[in-house]
Homo-oligomer: A and B are copies of this chain.
Amino acid sequence: MPETTQNPVLIVGSLAYDDLEMPSGIFNNVVGGAATYSSISASLFCPVRLVGVVGNDFPEAVLSDLRRRGVDTAGVEHAEGKTFRWHGRYSADLSSRTTLDTQLNVFADFRPKIPDTFQNSPFVLLGNIHPALQLEVLAQIEKPKLVVADTMNFWIAGEPKLLGEVLNKIDLLVINDEEARELSGIHNLVKAAADIRKRGPKHLIIKRGEYGALFFDAAGVFFAPGYPLEDVMDPTGAGDSFAGGLVGYIACAQNLAHPTMRRAIYFGSALGSFCVEGIGPRRLLDITRAEVQKRMTAFMELVETGGLVDFP
């Protein structure tokens, strides 16, 4: 389906089942996981190589659907036992969520094995997994053009040394504002970004949920808002969809220049905006490139300034 330049993206992370308690109802056994959302998004732009682990209970139909989208699932290990499962409850306004239960299951012993055919992947997205595993992935691949990584407060607090090694080996870190503050120990995001960029990643995206995302590199600062939606159904996977769209766009554009990054962030935001319009990845699985293009046009209308900065 995607009309791509043949630049594959390697995505490593979780495949999961989610049990979601939403204001709109309870949804059990929803296929989820960061790598699932990221792969679906990235597949609109480029071929995807997926590495993760599932248990006996994971539906083969989901994997074959991913393959139809251009996702190579040769790196998805089938382990004995149950798939990683997350049970969460969202607040009435969807602005916060509580984890009710996490069952690591087969994910507990996950050691990513990068298939031989994946080792030359020019673009890599390291999902939010233990920094030791992120390092294992990097040790198995050959000179990628760009490595993007996600992380979370749990690793920032618990594995600062290993995470520091990861930061030293990646090009772009994608985290949210609270994570940026915890990682740097600095509340102000502009100062926090400068601190984090000194630790390794030359490019940094700080996500601000529905508000949008800040991007920092040597050329300056960029801000892109979230798309204001009328109907938000389920925020699960929005950040992962963002990251998948972002890295997919970059793989397709084949460069990391500052203007490319600005557009990549908007494409990522567009994918994130579709994700939240349905329960789990439902909406994301439906969208076409034409719909993405249409939302990008709406996005540009939303932020168009006219460019005049003079006093009238």
Instruction: Answer yes or no: A89 CB below 8 A from chain B CBs.
Output: no
Instruction: Decide if B220 touches A301 in the complex (CB within 8 Å).
Output: yes
By a CB distance below 8 angstroms, the chain B residues around A5 are 312
> Could you list 20 examples of A-B contacts with CB < 8 Å?
A188-B231, A188-B232, A211-B211, A211-B212, A220-B301, A220-B302, A221-B301, A222-B302, A223-B225, A223-B228, A224-B305, A252-B311, A254-B312, A262-B305, A266-B309, A293-B310, A293-B311, A297-B309, A300-B305, A303-B303
Chain A interface, DSSP helix/strand/loop, else mixed:
mixed
- Asked if A282 is an interface residue, CB under 8 A from chain B, the answer is no
7 more contacts with CB within 8 A, not counting A45-B311, A220-B301, A253-B312, are: A188-B230, A254-B312, A262-B304, A263-B312, A296-B309, A300-B305, A300-B309
Can you tell how many copies of this chain the complex includes?
A: 2
Min Cβ gap A309→B in Å is: 4
Tell whether A37 is near chain B: CB-to-CB under 8 Å.
Answer: no
With a CB–CB cut-off of 8 A, which chain B residues contact A253?
A: 312
Q: Is the CB of A263 within 8 A of B306?
A: yes
Q: Mark A190-233, 1 if CB is under 8 A from B, else 0.
A: 11000000000000000010011010000011111100111110
- Pairwise interchain contact B312-A249, C-beta atoms closer than 8 A: yes
CB-CB contacts below 8 Å: A247-293 with B: 249, 252-254, 259, 262-263, 266, 289, 292-293
Q: Once the chains bind, are B228 and A306 in contact (CB under 8 Å)? A: no
**A224 to B309 Cα, complex, angstroms:** 14
Known A212-B211, A311-B293, A312-B249: A228·B190 in contact at CB below 8 Å: yes
Please tell me if the beta carbons of B293 and A300 are within 8 angstroms of each other in the complex.
Answer: no
Of chain B, the residue at the smallest CB distance from A220 is B301
Q: Is A158 an interface residue (CB 8 A)?
A: no
> Is there an interface contact between B189 and A228, defined as CB atoms closer than 8 Å?
yes
Complex contacts, A296 vs chain B, CB 8 Å: 309
Complex Cα distance, B299 from A305, in Å, reads 10
Q: A307 interface residue, CB < 8 Å from B?
A: yes
